[in-house]
Amino acid sequence: MKFNIRGENIQITAALRDYVEKKVGRLTKYFEEPFPAEVQVTLHVQRGEGTIEVTIPLNGVIIRAEETHDDMYAAIDLVVEKLERQIRKHKTKLMRKLRVESNSRMIHAQPVAVLTAGQDEEDIEIDIVRTKRFDLKPMDAHEAVMQMDMLGHNFFVFQNSDTNDVNVVYRRNDGRYGLIEPK
């Protein structure tokens, strides 16, 4: 497993680097060898609290988790636990889906970025601070919801494999999910 560890407002010491590599490196037991992905780890400190963000791209599926704690080592432990839960949940859903469906196609998706805009009053200029481009992979709505949950986002843009249209799934305020389709 290759790591890209960077720090913001924190010096990445050898001990901290070793701890991250050891703890996050245990996740390799859930994957086939050789591990193809480069794990992105960002550590930053703000107002005395340490935050760790870990992103693992796998065959088009993104596993991502973030944790904040006043102790950076505790935040690392918490984020690894969260990643393990996500990986187990993903594998369980995938195996259940493969058992139900007779074909054995794999789930593929790409990350979706949230575009941040200013307030939407007419006299205030819209300020888009981030733009992200991605390839749309065909999938059904259930796969899109699973990918959205794994990323921790509130919405997910995907190409519907049944209609070939671009659709959006989103998490409603009541905890259920919605689907937006073009006419």
Among the CATH numbers 3.30.160.100, 1.20.120.530, 3.40.50.150, 3.30.70.1350, which is that of 2-100? 3.30.160.100
**What is this structure's pTM?**
0.54
Task: Kindly give the interhelix angle for 72-100 and 14-25, rounded to the nearest 10 degrees.
Answer: 20
Measured CA distances, 139 to 88, 115, 159 (Å): 21, 23, 6
Query: Could you tell me where in the chain the CATH 3.30.160.100 domains are found?
Result: 2-100
Hey, which residues does 38 pair with through a beta bridge? 2
Query: Could you tell me where in the chain the CATH 3.30.505.50 domains are found?
Result: 108-183
Measured CA distances, 144 to 11, 82, 116, 183 (Å): 38, 20, 22, 20
Each of the 183 residues of the chain gets a pLDDT tens digit; together they read 788 888 888 888 899 889 988 998 888 787 766 666 788 899 988 888 889 999 888 776 788 899 999 988 999 999 999 988 888 887 777 777 666 653 334 333 334 334 334 333 344 456 677 787 877 888 998 888 888 888 888 889 999 988 889 999 998 888 889 999 888
Q: Tell me the two tokens of residue 122.
A: 């007419």
CATH topology of domain 108-183: SHC Adaptor Protein (3.30.505)
